[in-house]
Structure 1
Amino acid sequence: MSVLKRILVLMLVVITASCQEKKETKVFTEADIAIIPKPVDLQLAEGVFEFNDDTQFVISEASQKEIVSILSDKFKSAAGWTLKVSEKAPQSNYIEFISDDSLNDEAYELVVNSDKVTIKAKTYSGFLYGLETIRQLLPVEIESKEVLNQTDWVIPNLIIKDEPRFKWRGLHLDVSRHFFEKSYIKETIDMLAMHKMNVFHFHLVDDQGWRIEIKKYPKLTEIGAFRNDQEDAHWDGRRVTTPEDEATYGGFYTQEDIKEIVAYAKSKGVQVVPEIEMPAHVMSAIAAYPELSCFETPIGVPSGGVWPITEIYCAGKESTFEFLENVLLEVMELFPSEYIHVGGDEATKTNWAKCPHCQKRMKDEGLANVEELQSYFIKRMERFISSHDRKLIGWDEILEGGLAPEATVMSWRGVAGGLEAAEQGHDVVMTPGSHMYFDHYQGPQNLEPLAWGGYTPLSKVYEFDPVVETMTPEQAKHVLGGQANVWSEQIKTEEHSQYMIFPRLAALSEAVWSPKASRNWDDFSKRILSQFKRYDYLDVNYAKSAFLVMEDVKIDMETKEVSVELKNEFTDADIRYSLNDEKLTDKATKYTQPLKIDKTTTIHASLFKDDQPVGVQFSKTIAFHKAVGKKVTFKEIYDERYQGEGEFGLVNTLRGTKNFQDGHWQAWLAKGMEAVVDLGEEMPIHEVILGTLENQGPGIYFPTAVKVYVSNDGKSYKEVGVEKRPFAKNPSFDLKDFKITFDEQSVRYVKVVAESMKTLPNGGDVWLFVDEIVIN
């Protein structure tokens, strides 16, 4: 046999052996399915469909190429394949789009078998959601930006029948308080589509910035889009600006930008709803055109918080309505949205009560008060918007004084406004601050980036239901759905914005898509782990707050024993802990019941998964010191609104957090603190520590100085130390221990004096917050 023949025979043997070698096929179970939001109905079957470089997409309309590109681009990046798109199905190995007019608008049916995949839908959105479901059935590595050669690109054989519970599944983004680039807006829209969300509420106008080009009124962006840069100060601690101030912070979207964003959103099945605020939250417009206000006083674009909001549009001048109608004509030309949001919230109408133009309007229209004048304002704008075949939507304040006939209400002050509107036969979008304000904290405040306040963790978002239990079936029909709001007073960067949105958007997506009966937190908390891996590949800066261990600390003042409860958001979480110098490893003690502490102890803890710690490690020191449980007397008692734990509040080992309402703080308004601790007997001490908080927004400032005095008779004191801290601007929330050390001496009484600014230079009383006097 020739050498060539031997080689050919050998190759044949190898090929035959390779063909006979049976490839192991992945067997899927329901636990492997991690789709968010959870489909209405999913039936798992045996077998898999495997993607390879010959897989084709079969479309019936040219517009479906946009949908296909979502997945084909993923395969190009992660697998290195360029998958074909055709209009005729091959014998096998394809994904086919089949139109089915019997389905509801956003519904889809997905059938996967080993030869082919079919998506049936009636609309563009239905096909899009079917493809997004395939994306989530694929390994998370499909999100990779680099080619991965060892991944099996298979999905399970199954049948899914799915459609949303609500038609309005939205996210509101405030770009007025802090401006975000067009690229970030498009990235956010991508993520909305991935989560089967369909409304992007674009908050383009507020006091601190006008963000949309209006060609008829160029000063709106020339002046209104920029403000004096005071980003080094707390949002509510910034000085009032004037028209003469240099304005360098801001930005706006050109009309071409808006067209691009709207077209991009359409390709992702997302409706962009513009918000053009009125009659309040419009100081940026009044700064550009002072004649729009009642008294035409020139103002600067505010650099920070404004309250109350008195500079609002004049409701008495016809020129105001001419301006707004012209603005809305350009807005409606740019946005094909069914809805135009007009705000309508937080208008302080004191100027209307004094304005001769407004008073004349009230007399001419037979209006009893300024609330009815606001109703007149909104009703008039509603007639204009309706005349252009659009629908007006506004915050629940538009109910005051009477609601415009065809208006839709967005209920943010709880659900009461939504209930009232539904009772009157109006459509409602539920977005209560309790569950839907994503500018609130989502984890322990000490470990989180700056937020507006409140506490809205992932599990609380998941509990949200747009339909209120007390609603009748008829009223429930008026609930269009739900929406999350991201207000950006404290959110300066795109990374921070993402952190506040994700993963809470995933929880919301399930709350507004999936049947209420199928929702289960334990099940969701398992599926969200897979979503986290996708976020990692997508470089999404999502919050891992749900992993964080939190504590609930109490002390029995009689026994001087501290009880520490550890918990996080996951049911039956595997929390393990170690004490003091013990390392936190997989051998650490599993937490099962509150820890009892009777001496200075440092607790380390973490959530564990697969014997590995997850998220940021928890660490807390319970410091027992010589003042614990001792008598404290004050020259002036603390404010009744912030009493901490009362008599022993400053000597109980319990430290406050950045949340000044956590119950551990004692506070003084417009005065300093002078406290005397009676140690009961003479004892040697060398250090005094005073725990304090600063949050300049609500007027909480660090002391300007802390002084310590000691005595043995409680009458004659000598100063042993002082720490001074001059006032400084601080845009953040911070904790600070003022630490005074001195030569050891034996004393019985310790006097601690914390000096306060008392009042601010521009007016307003100053709070002083203290949580503990530590004596060592």
Structure 2
Amino acid sequence: MAFGYDLGGGMGSKRMGAALAAAIALAAALPACQRADDGKATAVPAENRAQTTPVIPLPAQIQAREGEFVLDAGTRLQAAGGNAEAARIAGDFAARLQRLRGFAPPVDASGTAQGEAKTTVVFAIDPQAALTSDEAYTLEVGPEGARIQARAPAGLFYGAVTLWQLATADGARGPARIAAQRIEDAPRFAWRGLMLDSARHFQSVDQVKALIDQMALHKLNTFHWHLTDDQGWRIEIKKYPRLTEVGSCRIPAGASGRDPATGEPKPYCGYYTQDQIRDVVRYAAQRYVTVVPEIEMPGHAQAAIAAYPEFGVSDVLKAPPPVSPDWGVHTYLFNTEDATFVFLQDVLAEVTALFPSRYIHIGGDEAAKDQWQASPSTQARKTALGLKDEMAMQSWFVGRIEQYLGTHNRRLVGWDEILEGGLPARATVMSWRGTKGAVEAARAGHDVVLAPAPDLYFDHVQSDNDDEPPGRLAAVTLKSVYEFEVVPAELTPDQAKHVLGAQANLWNEHRRSFEAVERAAFPRAAALAEAVWSPKGARDWNGFLRRLVPQMARYQAQGYNASDSAFAVRFAVERDGQGHPMVAMSNQVGFGEIRYVEGKGTLSAQSAAYASPLPLRPPTVFQAATYVDGKPLSAPRRYAPADLAALTMRTANRLRQCKGGLNLRMEDDAPADGLGGRSPRAGLLADVFDPCWIYEGAAMDRVGAIEVRVGQVPFNFQLWHDTPKVVTRPANGPDGALEVRAGSCEGTPIAVLPLGSARLNPGLTTLRAKLPPLQGSQDLCLVFASGNHDPLWAVERVTLLPR
């Protein structure tokens, strides 16, 4: 499931985005919420709502009031009735204000203070409050202060988050001015989640906490923690120490698996001690985030079997496997003997002691049955149990685990493969192979969580920008996440009641750094937050973009590396009517104002505003960024063609993949300046099944040569039944070569670029070759005739040189 080898199945750049256009549904949207009866209350005009209430996710109901509230260091934060949890939430609010505005109002934990303070923010927990859930709240803001009320601490926390967003919307320091208003708010769904894969690449405890903190500030409440897989076992189990002694380390494929100084194997290791787990769970609970652990079974078990081979399919295994350095679908399964269930139950006993969550995730996906089918003992077990096939055996396996979890008052949740062969009545299905599994499960009466690929798979890249971090293609954009509808249209209203909510999945095969994790998660998780919290009819894309402007500033102020891919300026070379080169600028969402400088100068909000393509006269340098309200919404991007030949340069992002196979943007561990170097390796984009690129519409009249920068990555992909789809071309020459063809990928190459020098270089290598005279516009096809699929060769960029 993690890798998912299922191959089947605007606005102008000169204008600001419009504010929220649709009126918010009031009492009809949340019947249990009360209208304000203040005669001065008015609906917030659509064109002003994004400025009045710049909050993500969008609250369910907003009503404007007259005046404004000035929140400053003299404001009292009062815990009503001296409630300890209310006081703690008030203290958290004060600390967040300190970090972003530079002051922390005093907290009155007694609940009885009077006088002195001109303004007061009351934090009130009233179990009898007429609200729809423990996560609902009301927020009243007036000239004399504010009052947040909820019936439980979670709702109070979310109300405090909303007030914090209102207080930090201008990005300034010092006192905050907040428009008077009344907000009545509650979530649309109970499960609002984000999954982090710590098995493939490990994150520190502080990094995990940073992600959880951002989740809480977006009112996401379920942290699904993927802790075990073929590539690593990341949780300490005291009864089975080899799970971490052996299972937490692997020798990575490629250059990162070798010490650059000695050439010796260099293990990649990491796991969380039980004390660290408790610390993370406690930290999350203080932010009203539930941590749901995932312990994979019966598949994705190679790391566990490497540690304890006796729990694998022993009569098939010839030797204990290593912890896998490969990505994809592996064939190692737990066996079905009673001793293995004792082991799994022992593991789950320690897991349930660490995680108080109602749900325990057991994976259940991509359990390739080859070893079970080849095992005489497993086949005998299947016959003795009267099971029809291996699918039924997995169902029996899941049922046995579900019964055990039931004795601990826990509920089993698994990926949608657990539907195959039948499912225990209390099991919950997480649908990842599209929404089909969710529909099937809900119709059968099972609770479901939507986490479909590719819609909510944050391992996908979010743009085709050249500086986009590695990930899977095609792009899952900010807008596509925002437009995701949680409830499948096929479900009836009664069936839809089984939809608990949705989550995004952040798999990390290709994201080694936490910065890449942060960029993959946000702001797309902000878009998801609105999909799972706000009323369906109230969401509006342009209003979201407008409210995202201060949110992007909050990320920066908190030191959080949110992606600006949606707003990053892209440069494209066009030709005018006389054939002269022009540079066009745009961003993905068509939002904001692009400002630029050419040549020397400092880019700022006062720089020239881009309106139409500009003449290109290399050598030159363009810098550009997207601005809103005079503030940058993206980091500057640079385009600096040195000569006319540079205008023909296209990175792999600008080349077309020949087939729609498994297209990945990858990054090997060898830096661009070689082993031992410091610069990061450039992204390499290739179809794992058939590496083949098309340079479309090449103007060949004046072209005399081609320059191609290439790289290599280890072919560390387990493709299971899809392995025969991998295309290997016979070697052209002793070291193989890159072949270039014109018009199609068939026929005789027009250029052959030997790979000898590239084979000696773990970084990037530039290859050159002359081209025969060609006329007009031609598509150029580039393929590697290397004689093997390992390493996986990839094109990083192509430049056409003049005659």
TM-score scaled to structure 2, two decimals?
Answer: 0.75
- 2:24 counterpart residue number: none
Name the residue aligned to 2:92: 70
1:358: which partner in 2?
378
Q: Structure 1 residues 720, 726: CA separation in 2 closer, same or farther (over 3 Å shift)?
A: closer
**Residue matched to 2:187:** 164
Q: Aligned pair 1:136/2:168, yes or no?
A: no
Residues 198/597 of structure 1: CA separation in 2 closer, same or farther (3 Å cut): same
Looking at structure 2, the residues matched to 54 and 770 of structure 1 have their Cα atoms a distance apart, in angstroms, of: 58
1:252 aligns with 2:271: yes
2 CA distance for matches of 1:75 and 1:589? 34
2:465 counterpart of 1:434: no
2:311 counterpart letter in structure 1: L
Structure 2 counterparts to residues 268-287 of structure 1, below 5 A: 268-287=287-306
Letter in 2 for 1:180: Q
Please say if 1:607 is aligned against 2:626: yes
Change (3 A) 1:694 1:465: farther
Residues 518-597 of structure 1 mapped to structure 2, 5 A cutoff = 518-550=538-570, 567-571=586-590, 573-575=592-594, 588=608, 590-591=610-611
Q: Among 434, 437, 445, which residue is 1:414 paired with? A: 434
| Correspondence 1:116-515 to 2 at 5 A | 116-140=145-169, 151-230=174-253, 232-233=255-256, 248-295=267-314, 296-315=317-336, 317-515=337-535
CA offset at residue 381 of structure 1? 1.0
Q: Quote the residue 1:90 is aligned against.
A: 114
* Residue-by-residue CA offset, 1:102-133 (whole Å, 9 max, x unaligned): 32221001112233422221111011111111
Q: Which residue type is aligned with residue 759 of structure 1?
A: G
CA contact (8 A) 2:126 2:151 kept: yes
Could you tell me how far apart the structure 2 residues matched to 1:498 and 1:388 are? 35
**In structure 2, how many angstroms separate the alpha carbons of the residues matched to 1:156 and 1:693?**
55
Separation of aligned partners in 2, 1:615 and 1:542:
11
1:725 aligns with 2:743: no
- Of 100-109 and 76-85, deviating more is 76-85
Work out whether residues 567 and 591 of structure 2, in 8 Å CA contact, stay in contact via their aligned partners in 1: no
Contact 2:709–2:767 (CA under 8 A) maintained in structure 1: yes
- CA distance, structure 2, for counterparts of residue 307 and residue 420 of structure 1: 26
CA deviations 1:579-631 (Å, max 9, x no partner) are 89999886657445x89999999987643445677433263869987999xxx
> 1:160, CA displacement in angstroms?
0.6
Task: Confirm or deny: 8 A CA contact 1:700 1:768 kept in the other structure.
Answer: no
Moved more, 605-614 or 210-219: 605-614
Q: Summarize deviations over 1:407-432 as a string: whole Å, max 9, x none.
A: 11111111111111111111111111
Structure 2 residue matching 1:547: 3-state secondary structure: coil
Q: Is 1:114 matched up with 2:132?
A: no
**Cα–Cα, structure 1 residues 88 and 604, in superposed 2: closer, same or farther, change >3 Å?**
closer
Q: Cα offset for 1:246?
A: 6.3
| 1:6 matched residue in structure 2 | none
Instruction: Go from structure 1 to structure 2 and tell me whether the alpha carbon gap of 1:160 and 1:314 turns closer, same or farther (over 3 Å shift).
Output: same
Q: Does 1:758 align with 2:786?
A: yes
The aligned amino acid for 1:94 is T
Which letter maps to 1:294?
A: V
Question: Per-residue CA shift, 1:86-115, capped at 9, x if unaligned?
Answer: 222525633221404332221001112233
Task: Write the letter of the residue equivalent to 1:113.
Answer: G
The size of the alignment, in residue pairs, is 683
- Is the Cα–Cα contact under 8 Å of residues 705 and 754 in structure 1 kept in the other structure? no
Q: Distance in 1 between matches of 2:305 and 2:433?
A: 27
Q: How far is the alpha carbon of 1:304 from its aligned partner?
A: 2.3
Q: Give the whole-Å Cα distance in 1 for the aligned partners of 2:647 and 2:608.
A: 32
Larger radius of gyration: 1
TM-score for both structures, normalised by structure 1: 0.77
**In structure 1, distance between residues paired with 2:74 and 2:96:** 13
Aligned to 1:689: 707
| Structure 1 portions without partners, runs of 5+ | 1-27, 240-244, 629-637, 644-655, 710-716
Secondary structure of the structure 2 residue equivalent to 1:529: helix
8 A Cα contact 1:382 1:392, kept in partner: yes
* Secondary structure at the counterpart of residue 436 of structure 1: coil
Once the two structures are TM-superposed, the CA of residue 298 in structure 1 deviates from its matched residue by 3.7
Shift in Å, 1:562? 8.9
Unaligned ranges ≥5, structure 2: 1-46, 259-263, 649-655, 662-681, 718-725, 741-748
User: Structure 1 counterpart of 2:320, which letter?
Assistant: I
The answer on whether the counterparts of 1:292 and 1:313 sit within 8 Å (CA) in structure 2 is yes
**Alpha-carbon distance change, 477 to 564 in structure 1, aligned in 2, over 3 angstroms:** farther
Deviations 1:34-86 (A, max 9, x none): 11111001112122333333513223422233312211223455215543322
Q: Which residue of 2 aligns with 1:15?
A: none
Distance 1:215 1:694, change over 3 A: closer
Root mean square deviation, CA, Å: 4.5
Answer yes or no: is the 8 Å Cα contact 1:278–1:343 preserved in 2. Answer: yes
Q: Show CA shifts across 1:153-185 (max 9, x none).
A: 343322110000000001111111111111222
SS at match of 1:273: strand
Q: Alpha carbons of 1:383 and 1:595: their partners in 2 closer, same or farther (altered >3 Å)?
A: farther
Q: Distance in 2 between matches of 1:215 and 1:231?
A: 33
Identity %: 34
2:103 matched to 1:79?
yes
Partner residue, 1:99: 126
SS at match of 1:615: coil
Determine which structure has greater relative contact order: mean sequence separation of CA pairs < 8 Å that are 6+ residues apart, divided by chain length: 2
- C-alpha distance in 2 between matches for 1:247 and 1:658: 23
What is the letter of the counterpart of residue 90 of structure 2? V
Confirm or deny: 8 A CA contact 2:90 2:107 kept in the other structure.
no
> Structure 1, residues 439-468: CA drift from partner, whole Å, max 9, x if none?
221222422122244311212211112112
Deviation of 1:197 after TM superposition, in Å, equals 0.9
Deviations for 1:222-277, whole angstroms, at most 9, x for unmatched residues?
A: 111122255735xxxx79xxxxx967421221212112211221111111101010
CA contact (8 A) 2:456 2:505 kept: yes
